[in-house]
Structure 1
Amino acid sequence: MRSCADCRRGSGSKRISSCRTRTSHFRRGAMTDEYLRVITRLWGGGNVSFAGEFVTFGDLLATPTPSRPGGPPIWVGGSAKPALRRAIAHRGTCSPSVTI
């Protein structure tokens, strides 16, 4: 049996997207990068502490850890170079977005 975790965090290419996160439109990429670092560390198991610009916590144990070493695959959507960079940095897949 296969299961799929669906965690979505959109950087958003439109300024309106930033209103939802109360973050500057120009900081959305940095926030996404930090969220991905946090998620992959938590998936690694054990007690984790993190102090960043957007997320800070100490001695957190996230259980259960994913059955797949390193956690589930990370899919990064987007058609800009930062999307591809994020996919490579997190051993993920880049799925170009299409705008109609």
Structure 2
Amino acid sequence: LSLQRMKGLTLYNLGRYEESLEVYDKVLEASPRIEPYVIDVSALEGKGDALRALNRNQEALEAYNEAIELAPSSSAAWHGKGEAERALGQVGNACMSLLTADKLGYEK
């Protein structure tokens, strides 16, 4: 599954967002869903990023929220959530999410 996650990231970096999204969905389907949920959180963050790149911000927000449920200290998920909220015009929520990401040590 970690090779699939890398494939999803590579496709994302190549701007092939739809294909990236498909790979992340397959990773999530195949995941055993066991703690500490590293595979799931990483795939959900990637899925959120791909959805955001496709301007599907509400769906991206849902993916980030699911990642945060599994790993509340994921700075990348909080950052993605903030960016999705900003794109949806939820400025107050976006500020809080981005602040949380910063406090958790988010780095690009």
State the TM-score bracket (shorter-chain normalisation): 0.3 to 0.5
Q: TM-score, normalised by structure 1?
A: 0.36
| Structure with the bigger percentage of strand | 1
What is the TM-score with the length of structure 2 in the denominator?
0.34
Higher CA-based Rg? 1
**Greater share of helix residues, 1 or 2?**
2
